[in-house]
Structure 1
Amino acid sequence: MAAPGDTLSSARHGSGAVPAAGRSRPGWGRRLAGQQNRNLWFWVFVGPFALGLLVFVYIPIGWSVYLSFFDARNTVTPTVFVGLSNYREMLTDPAFLSSLGTFVLFALFIVPLTFAGGLGLALMVHRARRFKAFFRSVYFLPTACSYVVAALIWKMSIFSGVRFGLLNTVLRAVGLPPVAWLSVTHPPWYWLVIVTLRLWLQVGFYMILFLAGLQRIPTVLYEAAAVDGARPGWQTFRFITFPQLRATSAAVLVLLLINAFQAFDEFYNLLAVAGASGGGGYPPYARPPLVYLYYIALGNQQDFGHGSAGAVILALVIAVFTVLQGRLLGGRRRSDEAAPAGRRRTHRREADA
């Protein structure tokens, strides 16, 4: 006869319970697959992307860093180790330093214009009462267009240097002479072509980012501001909307700066002069870093060592600018968040007094 304690234990755990010592541990395959094959399905979906990232991003980056320490001319399997010589020569190359100056000039144009344009479009679409989805789609549609296709449209139709180009036709209609828009001589009208092209292509993307930030702002803030007597318009935007978009603004500025560093398609497709000397016919003030490195590594020189060194320098410059900008905007955001807490402590001390 079973003891009362054994009967109670069997009732609690079930009549078919197996002692713990008798249970078999799952095999390695079962443990790797996880419960309900969760680990297996994770790698089924993530594995192709991770493999593509490794093959097409991380391995080329590592190989580029490796090539930057060798004299690699017309070969990607060099044997002559030169150490930091390629970096020293690139940092003292006037053409490379001038290309960095071109980036600074391009960033001074495109970053504030895109930021203001994206924010302005987001505010207008957010306040629209009708056809909001239509306007969102229309402004975002250029983002799906290829940079090469857009550059060819700008070059051959809108800003072509011939008298029958669209913009020159408008100028002739109002009595003004035609303009050679893509001439690399002074005055540098090509900056208008490049900036308007990049602005048209990317302003819709940043409008979507700002729209997401605007939709996260609690409406109770605007209601409280109206009760306190705040006027709608600039006053509400300055003291409520824009401070609430600080995190979104920081992300937009970082993305804009990185994209400005990576400018290539518009410069190459708009200003390249076939068969010209001096790196595709670019004067120093019209050649960003990626175009200059392209002609070093893939042009007539086929100098992969110096090209890789310049690419590594450019990547480090982008990283430094990104970290500094993130620290600056992040520190300002933390100070803004700490200010209300300080005011609350001050109010409590005044109440206690």
Structure 2
Amino acid sequence: MTRTAGRLRERNRALWFWVFVGPSVLGLLVFTYVPLGWSVWLSFFDAHNTVTPDTFVGLDNYTALLKDDAFTSSLWTFCVFTLFIVPATYAASLALALMVNRLRRAQAFFRSVFFLPAACSYVVAALIWKMSIFNGVRFGLANTLLGYVGVDQVAWLSTTDPPWYWLVIVTVRLWLQAGFYMILFLAGLQRISPTLYEAAAVDGARPGWQVFRHITFPQLRATSVAVVLLLVINAFQAFDEFYNLLSDARGYPPYARPPLVYLYYTALGQGQNLGLGSAGAVLLALIIAVVTVGQARWFGLGRKEAG
């Protein structure tokens, strides 16, 4: 009886495990792994206007993509975007975390306020930035404020010299994601032992920059590495803000076109070259993987620190 009851309990545990986990595994398989595998398969075929091609072209899609100036230009756009958004978000989120962590009262309130933009849709935020703040006409908030100080109106999203559109793109992404990374830094700050600060005070360390430089910042190393990795990966996947800010009834301008926007027009545009678009998606995934692994090795992620 005991063995039978034990087997029944084990079966029930296995059954309930798959009841709860099964739908997630099925969804992951159907909506993630199967499309990924199908995309890799399509990248080796001439797939114009079809997802079931029969003309095998080997690596022709990849070579054509690497020779396409528009694709290489989209990679440079990503590099510029990363150069702006990663340091800006890192500094802003760390500053917010330090500020909130020092609060004695209403810490939960301010933590929620700063995190709230992370729950906002990228599309909605982009439209607010485009139509209300950086409208490009005298009714836009930015141009209204500039008018008060006697500065002429600026066509923020269509001016390429200087490229003011970067200000719009970077600020909307910064507003959307700074609160999320602030939470990560807050978690890192709260793991720092208070005894380290007490020992520093006994040794005569001055509160402020000296304590931050020699205690707080080094203790946030693991959190900083994770934040930088996530920021770079998310920069590679930028699409919503670029597309909704810069596109209009005439289409998308030739500048500031990141890889996902390029692939969108390649695979779903007039030509609907799904083979070329799939090859671009595979190359983009490989680039993300290489950059992520390279960063992890550079920062020593997962390596045991010397005792």
TM-score by length of 2: 0.96
Question: 1:282 offset after TM fit, Å?
Answer: 2.1
Where structure 2 has 5 or more consecutive residues not aligned to the other structure, the ranges are none
Alignment pair present for 1:44 and 2:19: yes
The RMSD of aligned alpha carbons is 1.8
Cα deviation 1:173-203 (Å, max 9, x = unaligned): 1111111011053221110000000000000
Task: State the match for 1:18 in structure 2.
Answer: none
Q: Is the 8 A contact 2:40 2:279 kept in 1?
A: yes
| Aligned-partner SS, 2:300 | helix
The alpha-carbon deviation at position 273 of structure 1 amounts to 3.0
Alignment of 1:158-237 (within 5 A): 158-237=133-212
- Helix, strand or coil for the counterpart of 1:214? helix
- Matched residue, 2:49: 74
Whether contact under 8 Å (1:99, 1:289) holds in the other structure is yes
Q: Which residue of 2 aligns with 1:148?
A: 123
Q: 2:260 aligns with which of 263, 266, 290?
A: 290
The whole-number CA distance in structure 2 between the counterparts of 1:78 and 1:333 is 45
Q: Which has the higher contact order (CA 8 A, sep 6+)?
A: 2
1:315 aligns with 2:290: no
From 266, 272, 276, the equivalent of 1:306 is 276
Contact 1:148 1:266 in 2 (8 A): yes
Instruction: Tell me which of 234, 243, 246 is aligned to 1:268.
Output: 243
* 2:256 maps to 1:281: no
Cα pair distance change 1:166/1:130, threshold 3 Å: same
When Rg is computed on C-alpha atoms for both structures, the one with the higher figure is: 1
CA distance in 2, matches of 1:26, 1:72: 57
Residue 140 of structure 2 aligns with an amino acid whose one-letter code is G
Residue matched to 1:53:
28
Q: How many angstroms does 1:114 deviate by?
A: 0.3
Q: CA deviation at 1:164?
A: 1.2
How far the C-alpha of 1:46 sits from its partner, in A, is 1.1
Question: 1:241-264, CA deviations, whole angstroms, 9 ceiling, x for partnerless residues?
Answer: 111111111110110000000000
2:243 and 2:252 in contact (8 A); partners too: no
Query: Which range is displaced more, 35-44 or 291-300?
Result: 35-44
Alignment of 1:21-40 (within 5 A): 26=4, 31=7, 34-35=9-10, 37-40=12-15
- What code does the residue aligned with 1:260 have? A
Percent identity, aligned pairs only, is: 73
Q: How many residues align?
A: 307
- Of 66, 70, 78, which aligns to 1:95? 70
Closer, same or farther in 2 for the Cα pair 1:159/1:25, shift >3 Å? same
The CA distance in 1 between the partners of 2:99 and 2:153, in whole Å, is 35
Scaled by the length of structure 1, the TM-score of the pair is 0.84
290, 294, 303: which is aligned to 1:324?
294
Question: Which whole-Å CA distance do the structure 2 matches of 1:55 and 1:333 have between them?
Answer: 35
- Given the alignment, which residue of 99, 103, 116 partners 1:128? 103
Moved more, 222-231 or 190-199: 222-231
Q: Distance in 2 between the 1:101 and 1:44 partners?
A: 46
Partners in 1 of 2:112 and 2:2 — Cα distance?
Answer: 58
Q: Tell me the amino acid that sits aligned with residue 327 of structure 1.
A: R
Gaps of 5+ in 1: 1-22, 342-353
